[in-house]
């Protein structure tokens, strides 16, 4: 790709921060098109590359087997020639409190297009200005769990043990920010019923907790042996069974019966 003329990007556009740099480099690697970014971080009080930005550029360079020109602290112009994105193990260390979540932001698109799994060890700050905060995720997890416990205690018998663990992945294992809640209930007959919800921007965390808990409650009150997500996972297994009817409360029951009978009739002929 070195023979192609780099696409020139004005780094002072709009707020003139590091976002243009990170996204420009990521898209360059994914599209295999060289770029030159001028006026790097011109809108910041200290223009040019800072340690966190340089570390992110070097990480994308390594993940795409590319070539980086102008990669020095304080540089206001860089040129990047991407190579072939490859999986592997990579280490990125800002050697400062520079945000690790912004490193993830830069390299994640490369990871999605790699030819094999990628593993990153990222060292830096978890809380920084103009970057996602790690503690936000922790607080959201508590809100989700508390809301789910509240609803379950209201709707289920008091003698049922309710336990919800709050878990935050280690920074070395997790990529980006996100939240979710997964619940499961074990019945006295050995059935496992599940309920879940994923966090969404602009929606209160408590709402996700209520959603997951409501799915569990619906299963318990309907006295079913499969939750609505598990039922379509057993269609193929049902082909080896004489049973084509399974107690469940969702309208998808007809789909399960039809699919099972269809498969049985075709594979037995």
User: In the structure encoding, which two tokens stand for residue 109, read together?
Assistant: 């698109």
pLDDT above 50 for 239: no
Is there a shared CATH topology between the 7-123 domain and the 134-223 domain?
no
pLDDT per residue over 91-132, tens digit each?
988 888 787 878 887 888 888 888 888 898 888 876 565 564
Domain boundaries, the chain: 7-123, 134-223, 229-269
Of 3, 80, 1, nearest to 35 by C-alpha is 80
Cβ atoms within 10 Å, residue 25:
29
Instruction: Decide: helix, strand or coil at residue 35.
Output: strand
First to last CA, the chain: 56
CA geometry: angle 82, 84, 90, nearest 5 deg = 90
Say which CATH class 134-223 falls into: alpha beta
DSSP 8-state symbol, 231: G
β-partners of residue 37 are 9, 78
- 7-123 folds as UDP-n-acetylglucosamine1-carboxyvinyl-transferase; Chain (3.65.10)
> What was the pLDDT predicted at 57?
92
pLDDT above 90 for 64: yes
Q: Which residue has the higher pLDDT, 15 or 107?
A: 107
pTM here? 0.49
Burial (0-12, 13-18, 19+ Cβ within 10 Å), 245:
exposed
């Amino acid at each position: 790709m070195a023979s192609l003329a780099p696409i020139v990007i004005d780094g002072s556009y709009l707020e003139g921060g590091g976002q243009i740099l990170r996204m420009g480099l990521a898209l360059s690697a994914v599209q295999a098109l060289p770029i030159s970014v001028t006026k790097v971080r011109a809108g910041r009080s200290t223009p040019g590359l800072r340690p966190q930005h340089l570390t992110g550029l070097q990480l994308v360079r390594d993940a795409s087997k590319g070539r980086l020109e102008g990669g020095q602290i304080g540089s206001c112009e860089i040129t990047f020639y991407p190579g072939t994105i490859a999986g592997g193990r990579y280490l990125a260390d800002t050697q400062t409190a520079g945000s690790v979540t912004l490193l993830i932001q830069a390299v994640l698109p490369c990871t999605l297009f790699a030819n094999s799994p990628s593993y990153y060890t990222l060292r830096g700050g978890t809380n920084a200005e103009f970057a996602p905060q790690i503690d936000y995720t922790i607080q959201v997890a508590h809100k989700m769990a508390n809301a789910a416990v509240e609803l379950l205690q209201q709707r289920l018998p008091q003698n049922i043990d309710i336990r919800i663990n709050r878990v935050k992945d280690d920074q070395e294992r997790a990529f980006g920010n996100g939240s979710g809640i997964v619940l499961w209930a074990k019945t006295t007959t050995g059935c496992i019923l599940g309920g879940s919800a994923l966090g969404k921007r602009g929606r209160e965390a408590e709402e996700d907790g209520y959603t997951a808990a409501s799915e569990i409650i619906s299963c318990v009150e309907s006295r079913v042996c499969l939750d609505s997500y598990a039922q379509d996972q057993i269609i193929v297994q049902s082909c080896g069974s004489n049973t084509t009817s399974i107690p469940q409360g969702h309208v998808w029951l007809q789909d399960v019966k039809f699919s099972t009978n269809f498969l049985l009739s075709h594979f037995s002929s």
